[in-house]
Amino acid sequence: MSQRSEQLVLDYLSEVGLILHGRMTARERTAYLADLRSRIDARRAAGGDPGPDAAREVLRSFGTPKDLVRRECEGRDLDIQDDELIPPQPAQANREPPPWRGGPNRGLMALLDGTGRPEADTSGASRTGPVRGVALVVRACPGEAAALGLMLLTVPWRWDLAFVWVLAAALIVLSRVWSTRDKWVGVGLPVVSCAVAMLLWDGEAKFIDRYIQESLPATGVIGLGLACLVCVFYLYPRALRSALVGDRAREGVVEG
């Protein structure tokens, strides 16, 4: 089973688990998710193809998480009019986590993200410390973690380290965690920032090739480093969100 296929299954199970909240007890929910996982694995094994496309087809055969819960758990909804059946909501559930832990984005992050709202349930992110968060990303998304590390190497504005951005850009493009928009930001922003910084060079050069040779190490690497730092703050929460989703789903299946 490939990492991407496993991630698709875990994301699907996590979504089902969220919808089941309030319809089943924690023990029933864990048992149901474990049974659903075994059925998904059985269909995948029968198909023989371990790739992500085959995994998507199997998941489509079950329907959307909402349709699956409605079809298989009909009649188990709690009566929302009966307050005694609904457990009290903890006070921290209404507290918004900070942007770097999945909360609403504001300022520069909102401009880059274009939404200003959390894209997915990240309740686990508010309980994840920075060290554990980095460890989760390294374990669940090693390629993305390597890309973020390489981008940080360009921040010191040294010409002899700037070339590592090319490796980071390749890993970003090949990522199966970040969306197409994330890839455009991760690759396009450093290129544009580097070009703008080169235009701000106040030196003199008669020919364009000489201008590039002089301005790139002088001011271009500064723009590249600053943009890479911004991209790290933009891309890391998305990698962490994916790692948390997979970790929650994995814990639910193991408990079952």
5-33 pLDDT, tens digit per residue, is 888 888 888 888 888 887 888 888 888 88
Domain match, 160 and 251 both = yes
Question: How many domains would you assign to the chain?
Answer: 2
Q: What is the pLDDT of residue 100?
A: 52
Domain match, 50 and 164 both = no
Q: Is 160 exposed, middle or buried, given 0-12, 13-18 or 19+ CB atoms closer than 10 A?
A: exposed
In a domain, 67, yes or no: yes
Q: What is the pLDDT of residue 92?
A: 53
Within 10 angstroms of residue 63's Cβ, the number of other Cβ atoms is 13
The residue range of the domain holding 61 is 3-85
In a domain, 100, yes or no: no
And the tokens for 223?
């723009």
Domain match, 220 and 139 both = yes
In a domain, 243, yes or no: yes
Structure confidence by residue, pLDDT tens digits, 160-179: 667 788 888 899 999 888 88
Is residue 122 scored above 70 in pLDDT? Answer: no
In a domain, 64, yes or no: yes
Q: Hey, what's the torsion of the CAs at 54, 1, 176, 240, to 10 degrees?
A: 130
In a domain, 97, yes or no: no
Whether the full predicted model's pTM is greater than 0.75, yes or no, is: no
Domain match, 134 and 243 both = yes
In a domain, 116, yes or no: no
Domain match, 251 and 143 both = yes
